[in-house]
Amino acid sequence: MYRSPPDASMQTADRLRRALGNPKLFARGCNRAYHRRGGRRSANPRGMDVFDADWDTLVVLDACRYDMFAEQNHLAGTLTPRESRGSATSEWLRANVDGRDLRDTVYVTANPQLARHREDWDVNLHETVDVWRGEGWDDEAGTVRAETMTAVGRRAHETSAHKRVVVHYMQPHYPFVPAATEIGAGHLDALAGGEGADLGENVWNRKFLGDLAISRETLWEYYRDNLDYVLDHVEDLLAAISGKAVVTADHGNYVGERSSPLPIREFGHPRGIYDDPLVRVPWLECPFEERREVVTGTVSDTEPEGDVAEVTDRLRALGYAE
């Protein structure tokens, strides 16, 4: 079970000091307070309940904007926009799984956020497959590769034939796998002309804070290439499974748009802000022939005895600063 590190309160205090000392972080905090109505909201009230929707397999692309998906998607199906309940994975997960009876669902994930928060949430999934643990993690790419997720997702369909299956890919979320493959490890730091800050912050946060000399256009290219990369492997998954599949995203991502109500230029996906670039996500209903027979069953899911350092290291590599 993941437990917060002993210095978590110190990290919170440090983030507060940074926000008070940085006008951009302060403005972001004001925008969050506006969207969350001063703490009276913990999720986007317009967001959809994904587990109430009709699907046998839910493919989740992490941090995938609707507009980018609509331009680049080559998968067959009917595409419509939907609103997410959150602007970050932890917010989306909590709003959709906490306290829910999901004994009919297997959650296959490349993202450690469920493990990070599981002690705080009432989770009733049939099974969780943490692909980011052990050999599923690619040290060179700094993430779980899409081809790995496809292979594990296929196995989950075979071993859990009477369950709904969620396959949560990490892409197009940072790190950008094609860019890392082309340029090599540390590619973003090399392009930025420096070693980078050891803050556990991803490229989007560094760009937001003015610490990264990569252009917005270059970041768009990396982000779009990462979506092309994952879509090819999602296509392989869809070709190998049965039932009704839907492709969606947990949240989107700013790429230099102005936020609201304070119109600062934003990058990344800060929690608690519900502008369109962050919460407008794709909902692609793929063609199918026969439905899977889903049986509710029991909660057989148990959280593995966690290595706190492993969870923390994985989250930092994926760009989560807290």
**Per-residue model confidence as pLDDT tens for the chain (322 residues):** 444 444 444 444 555 556 566 889 999 999 999 999 998 889 999 999 999 999 999 999 999 999 999 999 999 999 999 999 999 999 999 999 999 999 999 999 999 999 999 889 999 999 999 999 988 999 888 899 999 999 999 999 999 989 999 999 999 999 999 987 766 555 555 444 444 433 345 789 889 998 888 889 999 999 999 999 999 999 999 999 999 999 999 999 999 999 999 999 999 999 999 999 999 999 999 999 888 888 776 665 555 555 677 888 888 888 776 5
Whose CA is closest to 308, among 159, 150, 119, 42? 119
Name which of 146, 168, 147 is nearest 97 in CA terms.
168
Contacts of 193 (CB under 8 A, 6+ apart): 213
Structural class in CATH, domain 8-317? alpha beta
Give the start-to-end residue ranges of the domains of the chain: 8-317
Residues in CB range of 38: below 8 A, 6 or more apart: none
HSE of 229 in the Cβ direction (CA atoms, 13 Å)?
A: 27
Please report which helix (H) or strand (E) contains residue 265, including its range: strand 265-268
Phi-psi region of 182 (alpha: psi -120 to 50; beta: other; left: phi over 0): alpha
CA distance linking residue 293 with residue 298, whole number of Å: 16
- Give the integer Cα–Cα distance in Å for 59 and 73: 14
Output the CA angle 292-296-298, nearest 5 degrees: 135
Whole-structure pTM value: 0.88
**Three-class SS state of 56:** coil
Cβ-Cβ contacts under 8 Å for 258 (sequence gap 6 or more):
264, 265, 266
83 closest CA partner among 247, 257, 249, 254 = 249
Virtual torsion, Cα 43, 47, 49, 55, nearest 10 deg: -140
